[in-house]
Each structure stands twice: as structure tokens, then as C-alpha cells.
């Protein structure tokens, strides 16, 4: 609530603070290499929904609700959600949510591809998100970094040919030069689990 009071004071005075280089909530212009998983256990309205849209994976409780109420308050979602929402759910659905300010229940958000999993009653949403993180962490850290970046280039509007070219020229040589690709292929041949090392990418 204090954040909203401070923001309201800035708006009233006509001065707006600068957004950090990583963007709103450290997510809208984030350039980090690790996947970000949102665990939504209640109301994700306005900035909370923007933060969710900017995450890589979204785990929601059955009672979670999502909404862009900005049009009802004379503002707009400027932290990356407008263009990214279109790419995720299409123009008509993005218009519906952002121009009406209607509330989207968790199950419908899943049907619209905004949520990966809706936890059943009694399942802790943070525990579920940590399980997903654990599964991802069992994979090659180099492969996770490169794959996530390639997917994000497509999401940010880079065409398939250009995204493939960038991935091949920028990441492929680094991936081949790393220890993890060697370990992964060796472990496959030896029919054992790989022992990954920290990524140097």
C-alpha cells in the first residue's frame, strides 16, 4: 500500500521516478539468464498481473485472479504487458482484458495460456513452483539458458529465421565449447545421470 501512496504522490506532483534498468518489478526489461517462475496465490491485479505476464512460467492457486484494472483508473499497463500479452493470448483476448478491466479466474487464465498449472485445493502454490524449479535445475544449465533465450527472442517478436540465426551464431559455439554438452552426451552413452557444472555462459 505504501508503494501505491508514493506513486500517487508522484502522479499528483507531475513527476515520475525512473524505472530501474531491469524494468518494473525487475522483470519487464530483465536480461538475466535464469528462468523466473511466478507463484500466484491470490489477486494479481495491475502491476501484479504485469509482473506475471513478464515471468517465464506461472503457477496459480485455484483461487488466484488476474486483472488489468488500469482503464478504470485512468492509467495504462506500461511495463511490457501490452505487447507481450498480445503475443501470448492474441489481440482480441488482450483487448478484452485490457479495455474492460474484467477479472480472469485462474482456470480461465490457464485455458488462455497465461498460467501453466492451477494447483488443486490443498496444494501449496509455492511448493508447486519449487517443484518446477527443481525439475528445471536438474537439466543442463547451459541448455536452459540458451533455450530460454531462444524462446524469448521469438516471444519478443524476432522472426523464426532471424531467431534461429541469432541462436546459432551467438549461442551454438559457446554451447559446444562448454563442459556440460560433453557431460550430457557422455552420460547418455554411459546410461547414467549427468553431473552438471555451473554455467560459464
Whether residue 197 is contained in a domain is answered as no
Read off the CATH number of the domain in which 51 is found. 3.90.226.10
Whether residue 20 is contained in a domain is answered as yes
Task: Report strand pairing: 117-119 vs 57-61.
Answer: parallel
- At residue 1, the pLDDT reads 47
- At residue 12, the pLDDT reads 54
Entry pTM: 0.79
84 and 179 belong to one structural domain: no
116 and 152 belong to one structural domain: no
Domain total in the chain: 2
119 and 170 belong to one structural domain: no
Taking only the tens place, the pLDDT of each residue in 55-87 is 999 999 999 999 999 999 898 877 778 888 888
CA gap 131, 133 in Å, rounded: 5
Whether residue 51 is contained in a domain is answered as yes
Question: Which residues of the chain carry a pLDDT beneath 70?
Answer: 1-31
- At residue 4, the pLDDT reads 47
CA gap 115, 55 in Å, rounded: 10
Whether residue 198 is contained in a domain is answered as no
Q: If residue 132 lies in a helix (H) or strand (E), which one and from where to where?
A: helix 125-137
Q: Is residue 145 helix, strand or coil?
A: helix
Q: What is the residue range of 41's domain?
A: 2-136
Amino acid at each position: 500500500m505504501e508503494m501505491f501512496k508514493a506513486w500517487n504522490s508522484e502522479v499528483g506532483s507531475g513527476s515520475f521516478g525512473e524505472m530501474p534498468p531491469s524494468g518494473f518489478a525487475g522483470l519487464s526489461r530483465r536480461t538475466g539468464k535464469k528462468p523466473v517462475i511466478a507463484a500466484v496465490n491470490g489477486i494479481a491485479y495491475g502491476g501484479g498481473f504485469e509482473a506475471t505476464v513478464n515471468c517465464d512460467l506461472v503457477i496459480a492457486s485455484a483461487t488466484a485472479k488476474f486483472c488489468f484494472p488500469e482503464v478504470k483508473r485512468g492509467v495504462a499497463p506500461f511495463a511490457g504487458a501490452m505487447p507481450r500479452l498480445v503475443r501470448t493470448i492474441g489481440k482480441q483476448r488482450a483487448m478484452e482484458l485490457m479495455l474492460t478491466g474484467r477479472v480472469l479466474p485462474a482456470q480461465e487464465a490457464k485455458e488462455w495460456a497465461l498460467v501453466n498449472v492451477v494447483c488443486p485445493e490443498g496444494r501449496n502454490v509455492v511448493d508447486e513452483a519449487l517443484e518446477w524449479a527443481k525439475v528445471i535445475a536438474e537439466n543442463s544449465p547451459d541448455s536452459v539458458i540458451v533455450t530460454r533465450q531462444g524462446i524469448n527472442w521469438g516471444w519478443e517478436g524476432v522472426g523464426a529465421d532471424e531467431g534461429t540465426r541469432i541462436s546459432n551464431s551467438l549461442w551454438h559455439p559457446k554451447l559446444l565449447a562448454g563442459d556440460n554438452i560433453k557431460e550430457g552426451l557422455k552420460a547418455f552413452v554411459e546410461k547414467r545421470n549427468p553431473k552438471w557444472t555451473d554455467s560459464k555462459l
